[in-house]
Chain A
């Protein structure tokens, strides 16, 4: 058995579609769906003689995202043409940024086990236009839909700082939360708003001899799960292949592999014998962008508290578990709602449970986000107080939440209307206890302190009280009365 030590080097090339209303260089609407070739104009069709004009919003969105990724923002940037030979960009070039990208040298923090964070360095993030879509129907032709051609994309390139599928997935999820918090992308992987292409190879030693495998780029990943599993699969595959062939970087070319989601394997697509020659040159149709102080400050003022910071705050300040904090911060609207409810006097753990256990289930059933259920945060805070004060019990609170979805009434009013108020009035409950005692003398005898059947019989008496009050007695108050009377 060979003595093998290695680590996996994974870098990502990421494309994030920006959520602008229009394309990057023309006024055609963006957006998923729409009948083929109905969102096109002479500019995005690449007709001769047209003039592209930059979408200001797309630029601002990319600056905001790059700031959140801790990048240095360039104050001067320009546009370049990158040669491209597929019919989904009919100009035969893609407008992109080559030597003066709008941002460089950032990092994204990802949580690791044990509450630590790891910084993954970002080489650069730049703006470019998306291509259309080729589909390969049966027959000797391909179909081209140019609706997506010209949609603004933020391309983010990381350093090879990631080590396994879990870290890659974690980065993808962090990035999704960040761009959603900023409102710059819908970041839905299934819909292709966010596309990840991992570059993977292994470096290490076998029996003291260094080895390096050739880099493989993985394509066709459209879920977090696919991302994680493809990276782990490819790591094992490269190791096995190397052990068998003993051929690594330099001896075999870089390759592109596609993820087969059904078989859960990566499949060889093509070898890259020679480096691509994109022949970049400055686009004469587009003038440079200069980001002056005033404009930069204006964009910076739109920065929000980012999800990881919020998550850490929820753990340290409100004592929530990592899991709960993660769920609450998965959507900015929900995280802010939670904070509003706490501000209004809700108990953190209780409000968290209301949202994550009951609220999200209801939201799911209704096919909405939690916030869109329309329960006011201050009313949920009041519901929390009602439980703390003993006015209602936890199961009544759960059923009240669904009633609050349908009604704008105050939770206390609703609790009264549906008879969910607990009886906490000691005098009233004492009278009921007396009555139960009179009806069950044997049980009372068995329930006296020190009796063998004490626990069981007290449970029985409690049940009788609950039955008489139709479940509305405050169990804390009743057990206090029982303890006092049976001591």
Chain B
């Protein structure tokens, strides 16, 4: 049986998820993910031509709050769960290829 996902695709997905997989795991996940995709394909049997795409699973809309500031966490509280901090900033491993919005 040919797999829905080949090894390269599994490696690509792993990279996007920032997961490091060894060759055994690539093989294992290729099998597992392929069977998941096959299972999901069952849904293709349903005729959805006249069905509007669903934007949200709840029949609710327009949940807003007013633009009124509320108290924030103290800095100590904000940083208290951080693996590393200098008391002011969150400290993270050096970002080498910074393509962030900053």
0 or 1 for each of B69-102: is its CB under 8 Å from A? (1 = yes): 1101111001100001010111111110111111
**Are B70 and A27 in contact, CB atoms less than 8 angstroms apart?**
yes
**Chain A positions within 8 Å of B98 at CB level:** 86, 134, 136
Q: Separation in Å of the A248 CB from the closest CB of chain B?
A: 24
Q: Is B61 an interface residue (CB 8 A)?
A: yes
**Are B95 and A282 in contact, CB atoms less than 8 angstroms apart?**
no
**Are A134 and B67 in contact, CB atoms less than 8 angstroms apart?**
no
**Are A27 and B69 in contact, CB atoms less than 8 angstroms apart?**
yes
Query: Which of A63-71, A141-149, A227-235, A238-246 contacts the other chain?
Result: A141-149
Q: Separation in Å of the B15 CB from the closest CB of chain A?
A: 10
Known A37-B90, A41-B73: A270·B97 in contact at CB below 8 Å: yes
**Chain A positions within 8 Å of B67 at CB level:** 20-22, 55-58
0 or 1 for each of B9-45: is its CB under 8 Å from A? (1 = yes): 0000000101000000000000000000000000000
Select from chain B the residue with minimum beta-carbon distance to A153: B101
**Are A144 and B90 in contact, CB atoms less than 8 angstroms apart?**
yes
**Are A131 and B101 in contact, CB atoms less than 8 angstroms apart?**
yes
0 or 1 for each of A135-176: is its CB under 8 Å from B? (1 = yes): 110011111111000000000000000000000000000000
**Are A87 and B56 in contact, CB atoms less than 8 angstroms apart?**
no
**Are A83 and B73 in contact, CB atoms less than 8 angstroms apart?**
no
Q: Is A287 an interface residue (CB 8 A)?
A: yes
Assign chain A's interface to a size class: 35 or more
Known A38-B75, A279-B16: A145·B99 in contact at CB below 8 Å: no
**Are B95 and A87 in contact, CB atoms less than 8 angstroms apart?**
yes
**Are B90 and A289 in contact, CB atoms less than 8 angstroms apart?**
no
Q: Is A284 an interface residue (CB 8 A)?
A: yes
> Once the chains are docked, how many angstroms separate the CA of A386 from the CA of B39?
87
Q: Is A42 an interface residue (CB 8 A)?
A: yes
Query: Which one of B68, B72, B90, B99 lies within 8 Å of A41 (CB-CB)?
Result: B72
Q: Separation in Å of the A138 CB from the closest CB of chain B?
A: 10
Q: Is A40 an interface residue (CB 8 A)?
A: yes
**Are B64 and A28 in contact, CB atoms less than 8 angstroms apart?**
no
Q: Separation in Å of the B58 CB from the closest CB of chain A?
A: 6
Q: Separation in Å of the A143 CB from the closest CB of chain B?
A: 4
Known A27-B69, A40-B72, A134-B102: A290·B62 in contact at CB below 8 Å: yes
**Are A87 and B62 in contact, CB atoms less than 8 angstroms apart?**
no
0 or 1 for each of A256-296: is its CB under 8 Å from B? (1 = yes): 10000000000000100000010100101011111000000
**Are B62 and A287 in contact, CB atoms less than 8 angstroms apart?**
yes
**Chain B positions within 8 Å of A89 at CB level:** 100-101
Q: Is B2 an interface residue (CB 8 A)?
A: no
**Are B99 and A270 in contact, CB atoms less than 8 angstroms apart?**
yes
Q: Separation in Å of the A470 CB from the closest CB of chain B?
A: 59
**Are A288 and B61 in contact, CB atoms less than 8 angstroms apart?**
yes
Q: Is B1 an interface residue (CB 8 A)?
A: no
> Once the chains are docked, how many angstroms separate the CA of A459 from the CA of B95?
76
**Chain B positions within 8 Å of A100 at CB level:** 55
**Are B55 and A78 in contact, CB atoms less than 8 angstroms apart?**
yes
**Chain A positions within 8 Å of B62 at CB level:** 287, 289-290
**Are B65 and A78 in contact, CB atoms less than 8 angstroms apart?**
no
**Are B64 and A143 in contact, CB atoms less than 8 angstroms apart?**
no
Select from chain B the residue with minimum beta-carbon distance to A290: B61
Known A83-B16, A130-B101, A134-B98: A55·B72 in contact at CB below 8 Å: no
**Are B56 and A78 in contact, CB atoms less than 8 angstroms apart?**
yes
**Chain A positions within 8 Å of B102 at CB level:** 86, 88, 131-135
Q: Is B60 an interface residue (CB 8 A)?
A: yes
Known A54-B64, A55-B64, A287-B62: A42·B73 in contact at CB below 8 Å: yes
Q: Separation in Å of the A88 CB from the closest CB of chain B?
A: 5
**Chain B positions within 8 Å of A142 at CB level:** 91-95
**Are A40 and B100 in contact, CB atoms less than 8 angstroms apart?**
no
Select from chain B the residue with minimum beta-carbon distance to A92: B18
**Are B101 and A88 in contact, CB atoms less than 8 angstroms apart?**
yes
Q: Is B46 an interface residue (CB 8 A)?
A: no
**Chain A positions within 8 Å of B91 at CB level:** 141-144
Q: Separation in Å of the B19 CB from the closest CB of chain A?
A: 12
**Are B99 and A256 in contact, CB atoms less than 8 angstroms apart?**
yes
Q: Is B8 an interface residue (CB 8 A)?
A: no
> Once the chains are docked, how many angstroms separate the CA of A379 from the CA of B68?
38
Select from chain A the residue with minimum beta-carbon distance to B84: A141
Select from chain A the residue with minimum beta-carbon distance to B89: A143
Add 13 more A-B contacts to A20-B67, A53-B64, A279-B16 (CB < 8 A): A27-B65, A37-B79, A37-B90, A40-B78, A45-B78, A54-B65, A56-B65, A58-B67, A59-B64, A131-B101, A282-B56, A286-B56, A290-B61
Q: Residues of A at under 8 Å CB distance from B?
A: 15, 20-22, 27-29, 35-42, 45, 53-59, 76, 78, 83, 85-89, 100, 130-136, 139-146, 256, 270, 277, 279, 282, 284, 286-290
Pairs A–B under 8 Å by Cβ, sample size 20: A20-B67, A21-B67, A21-B69, A35-B88, A36-B75, A58-B67, A76-B55, A86-B95, A89-B101, A134-B100, A135-B102, A136-B98, A142-B93, A143-B90, A144-B89, A144-B90, A144-B91, A287-B56, A288-B55, A290-B61
